[in-house]
């Protein structure tokens, strides 16, 4: 870390050496800040305190060694100085030998000779001594973090405005202490002393001096003197002051300026030149920006503020939309080594990812592990090399543009303070002890790929230097630039690895970055952005790089984005509130492409709202409006006679049928021309160019291609993949063929797929197929489409029977959910789809892929899940079972036998649909349901994020406290007449083990939880050490029963999905909680199973004490695999409410436990 230095020198000398000390003080003070107690302790100050602070804040401790080496006060000061300076490599004690015999003094003056690594300066000539000491200070100022102070002095009534412009511009310079750039009025005699305390003085002189000699006293050879070319004689001339002012103006070093703004830039230039000499550093450590660095940032800052070229950076109406207008801080998904704690502070702990108990934090502590802010992650000292991975439109490019712009603002200053971008970055951590904040170099990965063949580090360095040279318009000198990279002077922001077309080129980029990150000589940080690995096909965590995934934006962030958008567009608060309400309505209707979770698509939907003052009722209608608006945003396209939508649909259909997100322009135009045989070769390219120009939905990416020889090739890609999918589907359904024919063609497994036959079953087409019903809208054709999907499931109506019934039924459910008014309650086709999903899933669902199961059951919930209308109870016979004894389960009870009475257990956790009835029945307002927990009934009004949860009725309810679960049980008892309550821990573990005695709810000890399609539970299988699945974990609650391989005795979701509250209070001292041995109270050190099967140790215990915390069981969707074990015990504070935690109920008349409520 940089030393916090206020004084360049602390001067100490004996009383009898006062004369030479005064001489040295006077000379040093002209070029440095010097503390000497004879001059810098004011009357009334406590001398000891002032000296102590000065010693601690001094960089060089100068001791004059003369004949007076026995002065006790000087010796005491030296001892203190030695204590402060001797272990600091950036500071030093410097003896100045002022008498010839001082070296040989046997007493070794003040003990100086006993110090290590001391520079000695022998007095020969005062000028030589001063020069040597000033050089020492200059060489250390950068590591001291010593910033210069500047005094700007003028006659206020004449040149006050000019002086303020000078202060503003000088304050922007790196190396200047912003708080110590002061404007002083020469009419005030006191300004002379204040100006002399500054490191540099700037004098502005016109025709007045202010009636004092301040300006003439300051106008020496070390002062920067500025004068207006045309002073205002008429309004400001004072006869007695004019001669002195003219004398100062005639000095040869006086620099003239034209106007106030010119004064600021002129002064900044002069001060910059002085700063370079004031602080002399090694290459790469200059505390001032090099000329090319300053120009690079100046030329780039507006581009970074606007954002990348695309529809949103064009004109919408009469208002230009810049990236900075709607930027909001985004988050990364937490990892095993990086998370935010409950206070929002970033935690990076690589040991946490490898320790044996990783992930076994108590359930209550999970709230301490939140998604961190991307800017915090990017700037953390322990994460110098990062890969940010996210889907298209998730905010990757916007993030690096924001970071580059924010740093550039701090380097160059910002004329408009409103445009100074705020940041969550840890700037001191980014600075890493260097003289300045790192200078951002933002470059696209495809530019690097073209010149880093073989993955050599030097080729990467050359590309970065060329990038700075190109955008600065200046020559970038190799030695200082490469020295800066080595010393951490730059922050490399490399965007969009996925847009590099050739696999080999992507690998070259990663090879170069790997070598860069592992080279111990290089300290500059690197951030790389990319879409997921499926789009790159290369290993991203290479070298020292760490992978962080962008999290979907949450409700608060989305609302902030909407508010910023509305403000930038000139709307008032009421309009912003209306926009947000419309966005919330999106959540009720549009789930296919996560519009609210994706910043880019959210902004597009706001454009639609601006036009319509409402949002459409279906996803397809919304995309239709977005396409219309985004096409209209772009000027140009003159001369094009083809409807832009038809052209877009054709181009994106070509990409989609090829299973590609990018394709070379010649290949696209050739295939497009195949649909219009009369086009000439030149017409093809012209039409594609006009289409891109007139819509903004097509992007051209120039990349290097090697096919015998290296050459540049232009590629086509969609602005956002979801638009490619939507428009490709409109192309598929725009033929005059019948609905049956179109659907049959899409689902024909025989192909040929290059002609669009059978593509509907390809994974690449899943997103497009979700638009299948919607493109026909609320019409007979939409209904016919749903019916045809059912025909393929049943093998009826001449349709071949599909091998993926879950997928097709899920697509049918998507269409019905989109157009509920076209498929109302009681509609025969809607009931058919609902019942088919349930019956086919129960018969064969375990053979469906996980993605098909999720699609079908999620949308079954949206159209009405018949399973929720069934008898909720599973009857268990009770009996004696062996509880605990699992050494691999956190806080497992000791092995002991427990007797459980017959009981009924809910076959699934309480769902959103079931809990909604409690809410609607006044569950939060009726005190009767809260009688057992009086005083809490009015604390909450609904579960956490209830609006979002209601979209998915057959998922487990989450975000409910233990108290809310207890109130729900009270409501159930009143409405059903049954003794409903939460299960005891013993009852919960019995239900998970009934019929077996294995460690997992599904029993078999040799069958682990599995991953992907073979997973037996909803958990985060990326924690697993048994390889990685190609299918990501859901990372959210899933519909009940999605993992049938994990069921036990007809009970589902006992493992994973959500933690489940139990009745018991939590205790970890298991030996005291759980009895061992026989029923007479004898407790053996080790339990020995009885031969008598009827003997047991305890009768369904339920531990109640004043601890307050409550037990939870079962693991969750964000949990570790070992958390799924039957005996795994955990806990949470009873008021805890988050997305990991729900509950299940039981019905048992034989055991009633009194609740001991402790808060």
* Region for residue 111 given its phi and psi (left: phi exceeds 0; alpha: psi -120 to 50; beta: otherwise): left
Residue in 86, 505, 32 with CA at minimum distance from that of residue 280: 32
Return d(Cα 852, Cα 361) in angstroms, integer: 33
Helices (H), ranges, 432-545: 445-449, 457-472, 478-486, 503-518
Instruction: State the Cα–Cα distance between residues 563 and 514, nearest whole angstrom.
Output: 41
Under 8 Å between Cβ of 565 and 579: yes
Nearest to 488 by CA among 282, 267, 252: 282
User: Three-state SS for 291?
Assistant: helix
Alpha-carbon dihedral angle through residues 912, 918, 922, 924, given to the nearest 10 degrees: -70
Query: Which tokens in the block code for residue 911?
Result: 């769902």
Close Cβ partners of 710 (under 8 Å, ≥ 6 residues apart): 704
In terms of Cβ atoms closer than 10 Å to its own Cβ (0-12, 13-18, 19+), residue 60 is: buried
Asked if 1108 contacts 1158 with a C-beta cutoff of 8 angstroms, the reply is yes
CA dist list (Å): 860 to 121, 816, 884, 1044, 1144: 86, 10, 37, 16, 21
Distances from the Cα of 169 to the Cαs of 176, 181, 254, 260, in angstroms? Answer: 11, 10, 19, 11
Among residues 143, 137, 139, the alpha carbon closest in space to that of 60 is found at 137
Q: How far apart are CA 205 and CA 186, in angstroms?
A: 10
Radius of gyration of the chain, Cα coordinates, nearest whole angstrom = 37
Q: Strand, coil or helix: what is 407?
A: helix
Phi-psi label, residue 636: left if phi above 0, alpha if psi -120 to 50, beta otherwise: left
Kindly give the pairing relationship between strand 34-36 and strand 58-65: unpaired
Task: Provide CB contacts within 8 A for 252, sequence distance 6+.
Answer: none
User: Using CA of residue 281, residue 283, residue 285, residue 289, what is the dihedral sign?
Assistant: positive
Q: Residues with Cβ < 8 Å from 398, sequence gap 6 or more? A: 307, 323, 327, 599
Beta strands in 1025-1072 (DSSP E): 1059-1065
pTM: 0.62
C-alpha span between 461 and 469 (Å, rounded) = 12
CA distance 972 to 970: 5
Q: In this structure, are residues 25 and 10 in contact, taking their beta carbons and an 8 Å threshold?
A: no
Taking the C-alpha atoms of residue 39 and residue 33, their distance in angstroms, rounded to an integer, is 12
Instruction: Find, among 27, 29, 30, 47, the residue nearest to 38 by Cα.
Output: 47
- Asked if residues 425 and 403 have their Cβ atoms less than 8 Å apart, the reply is yes
The encoded tokens of residue 94 equal 């410097």
What is the rounded CA–CA span in Å between residue 255 and residue 205?
10
Question: What pLDDT score does 1091 carry?
Answer: 39
CB atoms inside a 10 Å sphere around CB 258: 11
Q: Of 811, 997, 820, which is closest to residue 898 (Cα–Cα)?
A: 997
> Which residue in 762, 659, 721, 725 sits closest to 391, CA to CA?
721
Two structure tokens written together for 217 = 């006293």
Task: Decide if 785 contacts 772 (C-beta within 8 A).
Answer: yes
The DSSP symbol for 1051 reads: B
Largest Cα separation within the chain, whole Å, is: 120
As a whole number of angstroms, the distance between CA 994 and CA 876 comes to 8
Alpha-carbon distances of 767 from 585, 781, 805, 1097, rounded to whole Å: 22, 20, 17, 56
Joined together, the tokens standing for residue 1124 give: 């799924």
Q: Which two tokens stand for residue 406?
A: 């924010």
Tell me what pLDDT residue 24 has.
87
Q: Of 815, 799, 810, 814, nearest to 749 (Cα)? A: 799
CB-CB contact of 998 with 1005 (8 Å)? yes
* Tokens, residue 121: 């300066």
Q: Taking the mean position of all CA atoms in its chain, how far away is CA 403?
A: 11
DSSP designation for 372: P
DSSP per-residue codes, 287-335: SSPPHHHHHHHHHHHHHHHH-SSSGGGSEETTEE--HHHH----BBPP-
Residue 29 backbone phi and psi in degrees, to 5: -65, -20
Closest CA to 288 of 455, 476, 147: 147
> In whole angstroms, what is the distance from residue 742 CA to residue 739 CA?
5
Asked if residues 16 and 71 have their Cβ atoms less than 8 Å apart, the reply is yes
- C-alpha–C-alpha distance, residues 685 and 668, integer Å: 9
Q: Are 395 and 551 in contact (CB under 8 A)?
A: no
- Chunked into runs of 10 residues, the chain (1159 residues) has average pLDDT values of 72 82 87 88 85 85 68 73 67 69 42 42 69 79 76 95 93 82 94 89 94 91 90 86 91 86 89 80 74 90 73 48 80 89 88 50 61 93 92 83 90 60 82 82 89 79 93 90 91 88 83 90 92 66 88 84 85 87 68 63 82 81 83 48 79 91 87 72 77 76 60 78 91 92 92 80 90 86 95 94 95 90 92 97 95 96 95 94 86 87 96 97 92 78 91 96 95 95 94 91 84 92 66 92 94 96 81 46 34 59 76 92 91 91 89 48
Alpha carbon of residue 186 to chain centroid? 51
End-to-end CA distance of the chain: 45
Exposure of 478 by Cβ count < 10 A (0-12 exposed, 13-18 middle, 19+ buried)?
Answer: exposed
How far apart CA 287 and CA 1081 sit, in angstroms, is: 77
């Amino acid at each position: 870390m940089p030393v916090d230095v206020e004084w360049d020198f602390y001067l100490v000398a004996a009383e009898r050496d006062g004369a030479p000390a005064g001489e040295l003080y006077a000379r040093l003070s002209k070029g440095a800040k010097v503390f000497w107690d004879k001059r810098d302790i004011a009357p009334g100050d406590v001398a000891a305190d002032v000296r102590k602070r000065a010693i601690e804040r001094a960089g060089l401790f100068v001791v004059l060694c003369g004949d007076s080496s026995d002065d006790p006060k000087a010796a005491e000061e030296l001892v203190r100085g030695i204590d402060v300076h001797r272990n600091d490599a950036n500071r030093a004690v410097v003896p100045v030998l002022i008498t010839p015999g001082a070296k040989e003094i046997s007493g070794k003056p003040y003990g100086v000779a006993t110090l290590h690594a001391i520079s000695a300066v022998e007095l020969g000539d005062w000028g030589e001594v001063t020069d040597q000491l000033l050089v020492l200070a200059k060489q250390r100022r950068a590591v001291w973090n010593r910033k210069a102070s500047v005094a700007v002095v003028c006659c206020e009534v004449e040149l006050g405005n000019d002086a303020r412009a000078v202060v503003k511009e000088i304050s922007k310079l790196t190396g200047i202490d912003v708080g110590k750039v002061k404007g002083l009025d020469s009419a005030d005699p006191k300004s002379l002393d204040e100006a002399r305390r500054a490191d540099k003085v700037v004098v502005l002189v016109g025709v007045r001096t202010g009636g004092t000699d301040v300006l003439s006293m300051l106008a020496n050879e070390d002062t920067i003197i500025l004068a207006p070319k045309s002073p205002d004689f008429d309004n400001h001339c004072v006869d007695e002051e004019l001669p002195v002012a003219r004398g100062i103006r005639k000095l040869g070093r006086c620099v003239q300026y034209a106007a106030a703004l010119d004064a600021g830039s002129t002064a900044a230039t002069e001060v910059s030149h002085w700063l370079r000499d004031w602080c002399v550093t090694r290459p790469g450590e200059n505390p001032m920006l090099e000329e090319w660095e300053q120009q690079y940032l100046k030329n780039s800052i507006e581009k970074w503020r606007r954002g990348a070229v695309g529809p949103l950076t064009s004109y919408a109406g009469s208002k230009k939309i810049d990236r900075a207008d709607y930027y909001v801080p985004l988050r990364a998904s937490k990892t095993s080594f990086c998370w935010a704690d409950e206070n929002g502070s970033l935690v990076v702990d690589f040991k946490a990812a490898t320790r044996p108990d990783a992930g076994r934090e108590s359930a209550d502590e999970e709230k301490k592990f939140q998604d961190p802010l991307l800017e915090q992650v990017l700037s953390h000292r322990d994460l110098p090399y990062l890969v940010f991975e996210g889907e298209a439109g998730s905010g990757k490019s916007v993030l690096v543009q924001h970071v580059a712009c924010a740093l550039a603002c701090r380097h160059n200053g910002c004329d408009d303070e409103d445009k100074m971008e705020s940041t969550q970055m840890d700037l001191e951590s980014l600075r890493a002890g260097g003289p300045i904040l790192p200078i951002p170099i933002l470059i696209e990965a495809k530019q690097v790929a073209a010149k880093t063949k073989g993955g050599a580090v030097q080729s990467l360095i050359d590309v970065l230097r060329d990038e700075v040279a190109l955008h600065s318009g200046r020559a970038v000198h190799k030695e200082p630039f490469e020295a800066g990279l080595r010393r951490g002077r730059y922050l490399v922001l490399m965007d969009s690895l996925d847009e590099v077309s050739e696999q080999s080129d992507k690998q070259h980029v990663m090879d170069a970055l790997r070598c860069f990150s592992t080279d111990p000589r290089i300290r500059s940080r690197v951030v790389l952005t990319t879409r997921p690995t499926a789009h790159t096909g290369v290993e991203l965590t290479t070298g020292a790089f760490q992978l962080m995934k962008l999290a979907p934006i949450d409700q608060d962030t989305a609302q902030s984005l909407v508010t910023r958008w509305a403000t930038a567009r000139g709307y008032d608060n009421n309009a912003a509130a209306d926009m947000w309400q419309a966005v919330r309505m999106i959540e009720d209707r549009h789930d296919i492409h996560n519009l609210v979770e994706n910043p880019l698509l959210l902004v597009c939907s706001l454009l639609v709202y601006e036009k319509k003052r409402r949002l459409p009722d279906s996803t397809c209608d919304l995309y239709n409006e977005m396409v219309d608006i985004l096409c209209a945003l772009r000027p140009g396209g003159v001369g094009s006679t083809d409807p832009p939508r038809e052209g877009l649909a054709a181009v994106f259909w070509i990409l989609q049928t090829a299973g590609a997100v990018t394709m070379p322009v010649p290949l696209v135009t050739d295939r497009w021309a195949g649909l219009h045989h009369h086009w000439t070769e030149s017409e093809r390219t012209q039409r594609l160019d006009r289409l891109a120009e007139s819509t903004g939905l097509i992007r051209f990416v120039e990349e290097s291609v090697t096919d015998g020889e290296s050459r540049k090739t232009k590629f086509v890609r969609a602005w956002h993949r979801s638009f490619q999918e939507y428009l490709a589907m409109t192309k598929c359904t725009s033929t005059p063929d019948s609905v049956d024919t179109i659907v049959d063609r899409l689902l024909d497994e025989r192909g040929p797929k290059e002609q669009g036959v059978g593509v509907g079953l390809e994974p690449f087409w899943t997103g497009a197929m979700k638009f299948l019903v919607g493109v026909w809208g609320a019409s007979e054709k939409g209904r016919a489409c749903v019916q045809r999907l059912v025909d393929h499931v049943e093998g009826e109506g001449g349709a071949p029977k599909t091998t993926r019934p879950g997928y097709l039924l899920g697509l049918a459910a998507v269409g019905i959910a989109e157009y509920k008014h076209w498929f109302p309650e009681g509609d025969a086709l809607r009931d058919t789809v609902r019942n088919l999903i349930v019956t086919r899933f129960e018969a064969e669902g375990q053979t469906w892929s996980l993605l098909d199961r999720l699609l079908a059951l999620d949308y079954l919930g949206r159209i009405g899940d018949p399973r929720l209308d069934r008898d909720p109870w599973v009857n268990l016979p009770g009996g004696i079972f062996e509880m605990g004894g699992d050494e691999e389960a956190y806080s497992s009870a000791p092995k002991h036998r427990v007797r459980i009475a017959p009981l009924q257990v809910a076959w699934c956790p309480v769902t959103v649909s079931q809990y909604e009835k409690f809410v609607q029945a006044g569950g939060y307002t009726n005190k009767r349901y809260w009688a057992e927990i009086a005083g809490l009934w009015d604390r909450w009004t609904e579960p956490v994020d209830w609006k979002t949860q209601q979209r998915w009725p057959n998922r487990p309810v989450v975000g409910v406290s233990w108290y809310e679960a207890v109130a729900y049980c009270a409501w159930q008892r009143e409405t059903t007449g049954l003794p409903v309550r939460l299960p005891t821990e013993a009852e919960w573990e019995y239900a998970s083990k009934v019929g077996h005695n294995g460690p997992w709810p599904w029993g078999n000890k040799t069958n682990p939880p599995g991953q992907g399609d073979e997973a037996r539970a909803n958990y985060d299988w990326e924690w697993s050490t048994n390889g990685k699945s190609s299918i990501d974990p859901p990372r959210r609650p899933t519909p009940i029963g999605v993992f049938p391989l994990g069921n036990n005795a007809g009970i589902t979701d006992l493992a994973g999905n959500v933690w489940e509250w139990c009745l018991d209070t939590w205790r970890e001292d298991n030996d005291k909680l759980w009895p061992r041995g026989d029923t007479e109270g004898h407790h053996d050190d080790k339990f020995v199973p009885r031969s008598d099967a009827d003997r047991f140790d305890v009768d369904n215990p339920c531990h109640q004490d004043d601890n307050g915390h409550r037990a939870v069981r079962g693991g969750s969707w964000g949990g570790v695999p070992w958390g799924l074990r039957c005996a795994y015990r955990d806990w949470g504070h009873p008021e805890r409410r988050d997305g990991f935690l729900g509950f299940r109920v039981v019905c048992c008349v034989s055991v009633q436990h009194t609740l001991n409520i402790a808060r």
